[in-house]
Amino acid sequence: MRNNFAEVNFIRDGMRRRRKRWILVFSLLLILAVILCCTMLLLGNTIYPVDVVIRSLMGEKIAGANFAINTIRLPRMITGLFAGFAFGAAGYIFQTMLRNPLANPNILGITSGSSVAAVFCIIILHSSKMVVSISAVIGGLITVIIMYLFSRGRSFSIGRLIITGIGMQAMLDAAISYLILKSSQQDIAGALRWLSGSLNGSQMSEVLPLIAIVVVFTPIMVVLGKQLSMLELGDQMATSLGVATDKMRITLIVSSVIMIAIATSTTGPIAFVSFLAGPIANRLVGVSASNILPAGLVGANLVLLADLIGQFAFEYRFPVGVITGILGSPYLIYLLIRMNRKGEL
């Protein structure tokens, strides 16, 4: 009996420590996001004092400051914050649900599906930004439906899904290259700017759908994410514990794909954010079933920090996707080497 009480107390103490660590890391990530957001509002071609920024945001008319802060910097900051959160949270869902750090929307071809639809609208149809955004969302959803159907077989297979996704990515990237090669010179610049992943030209009217999607789907992902760790036990064990595996998996995939697609349609495919956010969050918090919010904040901080680096750290300004690509490539190589040594590849 004493041993049982000791075990229960040990488990409770462990849960309490994990909860405190989660709250601490989440709070620090949130504070860092606020600092980065404020920095983006303060810095630019003209550095405005804090009181000027606050007065401008409150609606006071200040010559020169209103346009720079409210029209350029504020939409850029909000876009980076919510797009980064969407990339990070959705990437964490895919990596945890499929039990593979390589299983993220970039490598599985979901962002490539959105990119093909967007580039086609930009280069061939010369569509408006609204049509490009809608097409990117539809492209991402169609891609994941095709992947799911091919990986289904008699039963769902994670291995088939990953292999199908990698094949889809290669095919879709080839389609993007073909569209660019066949396009006119004046269309190439717009397509390449979109493909590089950039916060340039962000507008409040374009970021509002992204905010709505993140606000609606994040609670769904958090609630279902509490059962996410049960999928790691295998479908049979999860089903015996009362988890409707197919319904939960489909709901999580659809929610994640919609968030990824709308974020991609707003900023373009920002490289490696969905790939890096989950592992960083797990390293900071520890492996937990509730790391969706920390992963989202890590993604937001990565995008905001990379955008600041791209704007001010070099002689020339670089899109945010270039900086995240530089940060993510070494980690991908390290991960592949580590998985190969463990025999997981």
CA separation for the pair 293, 99 (Å, rounded):
18
CB atoms inside a 10 Å sphere around CB 64:
11
CB atoms inside a 10 Å sphere around CB 80:
29
CATH number for the 2-341 domain, one of 3.40.30.10, 1.10.3720.10, 1.10.3470.10, 3.40.50.11780?
1.10.3470.10
Q: What is the pLDDT of residue 55?
A: 87
CB atoms inside a 10 Å sphere around CB 289:
13
Q: What percent of the chain has pLDDT over 70?
A: 86
End-to-end C-alpha distance for the chain, whole angstroms: 46
Whether the pLDDT of residue 125 is over 90: the answer is: no
Cβ atoms 310, 323 nearer than 8 A: yes
The most confident of the ranges 221-230, 259-268, 283-292 is 259-268
Q: Can you give the residue ranges of every domain in the chain?
A: 2-341
- For 62-71, 82-91, 305-314, which range has the lowest pLDDT when averaged over its residues? 62-71
Q: What is the pLDDT of residue 307?
A: 93
pLDDT digit string (tens) for 70-124? 888 999 999 999 999 999 999 998 888 877 777 777 777 788 888 888 888 888 8
Question: What is the SS3 assignment for 56?
Answer: helix
Q: Which residue has the higher pLDDT, 219 or 10?
A: 219
10 Å CB burial of residue 51 (0-12, 13-18, 19+) is exposed
Structure tokens at 87: 């990339």
- For 1-15, 135-149, 232-246, which range has the lowest pLDDT when averaged over its residues? 1-15
pLDDT bracket for residue 5 (50, 70, 90): low
Cβ atoms 40, 304 nearer than 8 A: yes
Closest CA to 29 of 325, 320, 293: 293
